[in-house]
Amino acid sequence: MWQWALKCVIGLKVHRTPQFSGQPRIVAALPDMGNVAGIGLAYLAKKLDAKVFAELYSFWPPFVSYKDGGIVDYKQASYRFYAVDASDLLIFTGDFNPADPRRLYEVCDEVLGMAQRMNAGALYSIGAALRQPGAGGKVLAAVNNPALVQPLKQAGAEMLQGEGQISGFNGLVLGFAKERGIDAACVLGEIDNPNIIQPKAAQSILQVLLRLLGLESFDMAQLDEEEKRKNFMEQQVGYLEKVIERGEPPGVA
C-alpha cells in the first residue's frame, strides 16, 4: 500500500504535448559547481521563452514550512521539462542534483524516457570543470559518439584530454543516452572556484551551445552584470581576509 501511494505522488506529470516541425534536440542539466548549469539553462529557457510542458516530482524537500499561527505550507519540488516548439528544442533542469545514487539513476532514466518519447535526435548537457587558478577559462567537451567531436570543435569547444570522471547528472546522463542509442555531449566551462556562482562560465557555454543547436545568439548583458558583481564580492572577501590575517580592524571597505 505504501509503495503504491508513493508511486502515485512521485512521478511524471505532463501538462501538454509539444508540437515540433522536425526532430527535436534536448539540453538537460542540473545545478553543479558554481551553479554553472543552473545559471546557463535558466537563462537559456528565459531568453528562448521556453514553456514548461511536463514536471518530474522529486523526493524534496524533507520538511514543511509554517507561518504565523502555525499554518503549515508544503510544496513538493519538481524537475521541469521545457519546450521551444518553433526551435525543435527541449530543455530539462531543476533546483538540485540528487546526491543519492538511486535517485540520480531514476532522474536520468526519466529524462531519457522523455527524450525517446519525443524522438530526440541528440542530447546535450552542460556543467563546470574545475581548473587551476590563473588558467584560461576554456570550454571543454566530452561525447558518447566520436561523430560529435568535429561539430563541437567547430562550435568552439576543446575536447577533454587524459582520463577522468564527470560526476552527477550532467555526466551520467551521457552514459544513459549511449545505452538508448542517442548521441550526447557534455559541454563544460572551466572555473577556478566551485563555491561561488560562475556566470562567465555559463555564458561561454551558451555561446558554444547556440552554435551547436544552430540558434541565433541573444543578449547576455545580464550575465555580464552578474560576473561584475561576483568579481566585486571576491575583491571584498579578499580584502577582509588579508585584514584579518594582519590582525587589523577591517574599517570600511
Task: Encode pLDDT of 48-105 as tens digits.
Answer: 999 999 999 877 778 888 988 899 988 777 899 999 999 999 999 998 888 889 889 9
Name the residue range of residue 249's domain: 220-253
pLDDT at 250 exceeding the cut of 60: no
| 112 shares a domain with 73 | yes
Confidence bin at 1 (pLDDT 50/70/90): very low
| 21 shares a domain with 98 | yes
Cα angle for residues 44, 49, 51 (degrees, 5° grid): 100
| 234 shares a domain with 139 | no
Q: Are the C-beta atoms of residues 33 and 97 closer than 8 Å to each other? A: no
| 251 shares a domain with 140 | no
| 140 shares a domain with 19 | yes
Q: Cβ atoms within 10 A of the Cβ of 248, count?
A: 9
Q: Cβ atoms within 10 A of the Cβ of 139, count?
A: 22
| 153 shares a domain with 74 | yes
| 104 shares a domain with 196 | yes
Question: Can you give the pLDDT at residue 239?
Answer: 55
Q: Phi and psi at residue 52, in whole multiples of 5°?
A: -65, 130
| 131 shares a domain with 63 | yes
Question: Can you give the pLDDT at residue 113?
Answer: 95
- Supply 40's cell numbers: 546557463
What CATH number is associated with residue 122?
3.40.50.10900
Question: Can you give the pLDDT at residue 242?
Answer: 67
Per the structure, the count of domains in the chain is: 2
pLDDT, tens digit, for every residue of 159-217? 999 999 999 999 999 999 999 999 999 999 999 888 888 999 999 999 999 999 999 99
Q: Are the C-beta atoms of residues 27 and 44 closer than 8 Å to each other? A: yes
| 57 shares a domain with 142 | yes
